[in-house]
Amino acid sequence: MIVRLALTMLLAGAVVATPTLADEAPISGTVRAVDPVANTVTLESTAKGKTRAVVVYLTPGVKIVKFIRSTEPGQTGFVEQQLMLTDLKPGWIVSAETRHEGGKEVAEAVKVVLDR
């Protein structure tokens, strides 16, 4: 009886302590649509040989960045440039770090990989 109770408590603790797993990799793809009213960006993403449309929801304050060459004299390399959702354009390639929330992909950060 004590063994059964201990086993039940151990299993219950394992279920409660199981962390929520995020995607193993960011969602990368070509921007197909930007909806500033709904705060979404639709990406055409290809993974494992299949292409799909993914709607990514952006919460207020989500970081959207692209990297540009520094224009400061004497400074070399790239610097981060903050963007707004409305700055994203169809055809650009982006990478979005997301989490699953209520059946939706919610962005934690969006990085512009290539702006065409």
Total domains present in the chain: 1
- Predicted pLDDT at 74: 85
Q: What integer pLDDT is reported at residue 14 of this predicted model?
A: 42
101 assigned to some structural domain: yes
Give the pLDDT score at 1: 47
83-95 pLDDT, tens digit per residue, is: 999 999 999 999 9
pLDDT computed for residue 22 by the predictor: 45
Q: Is residue 8 part of a domain?
A: no
Number of Cβ within a 10 Å radius of residue 70: 12
What parts of the chain have a pLDDT lower than 70? 1-24
Residue 106 belongs to a domain with what CATH number? 2.40.50.320
Give pLDDT, residue 105.
Answer: 95
